[in-house]
Amino acid sequence: MSLESIGGYTLIDLLARGGMAEVYLATTAGEASLRKQVAIKRVLRKLSQSQDFIKMFHDEAKVAIQLRHKNIVTVYDFGIDRGYPYLVMEYVPGHSLQDVRNKLLEKKQFLSLDHVLYLVKEIASGLAYAHNFKDLESGAKLNLIHRDITPQNIMFGINGDVKIIDFGVARSDFNTSVTQVGMIKGKYGYLSPEQLELMPLDARSDLFSLGILFFELLFNKKLFSFNSEIEYFAQLRNFKCTPDLISTRDLPVPVSEILLRLLQPNREERYSTALSALEELTMVLHSLFPRYTEVEFAKFIQDWMPSSQLSFNQMPKQFLSGDRVSVVKVKKSYTFRLPKGLA
């Protein structure tokens, strides 16, 4: 059986397909014992002819390929193969935050507070790095904003590592492609108020999205529940963050204070930087759970979702037999137009 290749990488299985790209599990060339597993994100045929989209994809590559942090999925390479642009990325055998949330809902369980604080702290760590990143050539700060911090874009490895994925809708001063006036980039349920208002964004937009994730992990429910675009936009526009919002659970005061500050609709009342949020999250985690480390989180992931323990040597046989072992949930970057009456 001959396997397809992209840019010299051998494809093993399709992991995910969205509206803009598809993601494959692949291996590098060479002896079997020396091959490295990678994920390859390739633009779909229908978009490979669009110069605007190719420019956007290239912008993503230019930024993402420079980022090197334990809480951000590494991008190794960029290329064009038979007319299809592609990114070669670190493959994370594990689960997404969405997987964990779905299982919590299914079992009607809450994630323990130590795990929640650790998760949010690790995401804040990745954001703090990205927000302050400087271009390696010019030394200029890129003012990078992810704009799509959602459960689908947070991955957990089997060793307890937490990774932010998909900078496909990120905005930075490096971008040559520009979001059109009147357009919103991001996913419903996780937008910041300033994204809705089409205001110039800064790093505090990602902190509001982080606050939504924090809330959903603590309360095991959506912060915004809606059935239509207009209903969601109205909720977000009228959102108020008061202590009543979190009154249904008895949280330690420092945890409540961090959550409420992240969720302030007025960005001037949020943390000014992800680093400030990270410092407080770290202090509270160590204060409440002084013995907690990533080892505890790794044990939780391995015990709770053990399918992620399958070794790489077993993967090709499993994939070829049709059994999906681990899915990297890289979803499309949605673009929304404001409904009439809310523009």
Nearest CA-CA partner of 242 in 276, 265, 225: 265
What's the mean pLDDT when you consider all of the chain? 83
Position 3 confidence tier, pLDDT thresholds 50, 70, 90: low
Cβ atoms 23, 74 nearer than 8 A: no
Residues in the chain: 343
Tell me which CATH code domain 94-295+332-337 carries.
1.10.510.10
What residue spans define the domains of the chain? 5-92, 94-295+332-337
Cβ atoms 167, 64 nearer than 8 A: yes
Position 153 confidence tier, pLDDT thresholds 50, 70, 90: very high
Cβ atoms 198, 342 nearer than 8 A: no
Report the CATH fold assignment for 5-92: Phosphorylase Kinase; domain 1 (3.30.200)
User: Which one-letter DSSP state was computed for residue 66?
Assistant: T
CB proximity list for 40: less than 8 A, separation 6 or greater: 6, 7, 9, 11, 23, 24, 26, 86, 87, 88, 89
pTM here is 0.84
Nearest CA-CA partner of 269 in 216, 204, 202, 192: 204
85-117 pLDDT, tens digit per residue, is 999 999 988 888 998 889 888 888 889 999 999
Cβ atoms 110, 220 nearer than 8 A: yes
207-233 pLDDT, tens digit per residue, is 999 999 999 999 999 999 999 999 999
Alpha-carbon distances of 253 from 243, 258, 276, 284, rounded to whole Å: 11, 9, 18, 10
Cβ atoms 69, 127 nearer than 8 A: no
3-state SS assignment for residue 151: helix
Catalytic residues: 148
Cβ atoms 89, 96 nearer than 8 A: no
Q: Where does residue 132 rank: exposed (0-12), middle (13-18), buried (19+ CB within 10 A)?
A: middle
What is the full DSSP assignment across 169-185?
T-B-TT-SS-PPTTEEE
156-170, 179-193, 249-263, 293-307 — which is least confidently predicted? 179-193
Position 169 confidence tier, pLDDT thresholds 50, 70, 90: very low
What mean pLDDT do residues 137-165 have? Answer: 90
Work out the end-to-end distance of the chain between its first and last CA atoms, rounded to an integer number of angstroms.
Answer: 54
What mean pLDDT do residues 64-75 have? Answer: 92
CB proximity list for 334: less than 8 A, separation 6 or greater: 19, 185, 186, 187, 188
Q: Where does residue 271 rank: exposed (0-12), middle (13-18), buried (19+ CB within 10 A)?
A: buried
Domains 5-92 and 94-295+332-337 share a fold: no
- At 199, the amino acid letter reads M
- At 13, the amino acid letter reads D
CB proximity list for 77: less than 8 A, separation 6 or greater: 7, 65, 87, 88
